[in-house]
Amino acid sequence: MTSPAELIVTTSWDDGHRLDPRLAELLDRYRVPGTFYIAPRNIEFDPADRLPAAGIRELATRHEIGGHTLTHPRLPLIADRAAREDIRAGKIELEDMIGDAIESFCYPRGEYDERHTAMVRDCGFALARTVRRHTLNPGKPFESGTTVNAYAHRVDGLVALRMARFRPRATSRLFRHWDDLAKAWFDTFLEQGGVFHLWGHSWEVDARGDWERLERVLDYIGNRPGVRYVTNGELAGAGV
């Protein structure tokens, strides 16, 4: 367990898109490490949009590479044997590319049940991230939660209300802008301690024209004294 005073920041970026290196450059600028969850043969991307092996190897020199299955299937909708094989094959392909073991995993679309947590553990991963948000306590290692997604979710209304201490104008700002919500969460994190986990997708940041928003958030959360910056895998190692 994390002691209340401990301050840990981690980030993760899903899918393995050709825009991931642009996102990694921003992380580097503010000295925030990232875990890039990559499905090397993601069927949801045009092959030209996938991050090629050379790009994955380059990312691996500065950030963590994590498993995200081979093809990005919706795990609960496919047979157990196919799910197990896709999880395993994705891990092997990435390990062959980067010449190193990978230990963190992320469920495609955050969809999984207890069969898949067992498969991921049996496959040799040490941690699995979900898409659960609004927490400073990641919880169980194979159902690790996050704090803020770099994307405006309409369902954030209640959270925005709470974070803005029920002041209407502040609430509407947090409701509309994920970067303001991220900063409000970061302020809470500085008061309470725990794990601040920001995650997203480079292709989504790009599609929404959110690069400047993301940079503002990284500028806000990076380079803070007393804060420990870790990859998702190092979270598992830290026993939190």
Size, binding site for Zn ion by CB under 5 A: 3
Decide whether 1 or 48 has the Cβ nearer to Zn ion: 48
| Between 73 and 108, CB nearer to Zn ion | 108
Amino acid at 48: A
Q: How many CB atoms lie within 10 A of CB 86?
A: 21
Q: Report the interhelical angle of 114-122 vs 80-98 (nearest 10°).
A: 40
Do the Cβ atoms of 8 and 195 come closer than 8 Å?
Answer: yes
State phi, psi for 128 to the nearest 5 degrees. Answer: -135, 130
Rounded Cα distance between 197 and 185, Å, is: 10
What residues between 9 and 28 interact with Zn ion by CB under 5 A? 14-15
Whichever of 14 and 156 has its CB closer to Zn ion, that residue is 14
Residues 6+ apart with CB under 8 A from 205: 19, 23, 150, 211, 213, 214
Quote the least distance from Cβ 227 to Zn ion, whole Å.
27
CB nearer to Zn ion: give 108 or 200: 108
Shortest distance in whole angstroms from residue 3 CB to Zn ion: 32
DSSP category for residue 41: T
3-state DSSP helix/strand/coil % of the chain, to nearest 5: 50, 15, 35
Looking only at residues 36 through 55 of this chain, which bind Zn ion when binding is defined by CB under 5 A? none
User: Side chain identity at 168, as an amino acid letter?
Assistant: P
In the complex, minimum distance from the CB of residue 108 to Zn ion, in angstroms, rounded to a whole number: 5
Query: Closest CB to Zn ion belongs to which residue?
Result: 14
Residue with smaller CB distance to Zn ion, 15 or 20: 15
Least Å from the CB of residue 7 to Zn ion: 28
Q: Are 37 and 60 in contact (CB under 8 A)?
A: no
Q: How far is the CB of 90 from Zn ion (least distance, A)?
A: 11
Please report how close the Cβ of residue 210 comes to Zn ion at its closest, in angstroms. Answer: 17
Give alpha helix (H) positions in 99-210: 114-122, 157-163, 168-176, 178-192, 202-207
Show contacts with Zn ion in window 83-112 (CB under 5 A). 108
Q: How far is the CB of 233 from Zn ion (least distance, A)?
A: 18
Helical (H) or strand (E) element with 73: none
Element spanning 105, H or E: strand 104-106
Report the interface residues with Zn ion, using CB under 5 A: 14-15, 108
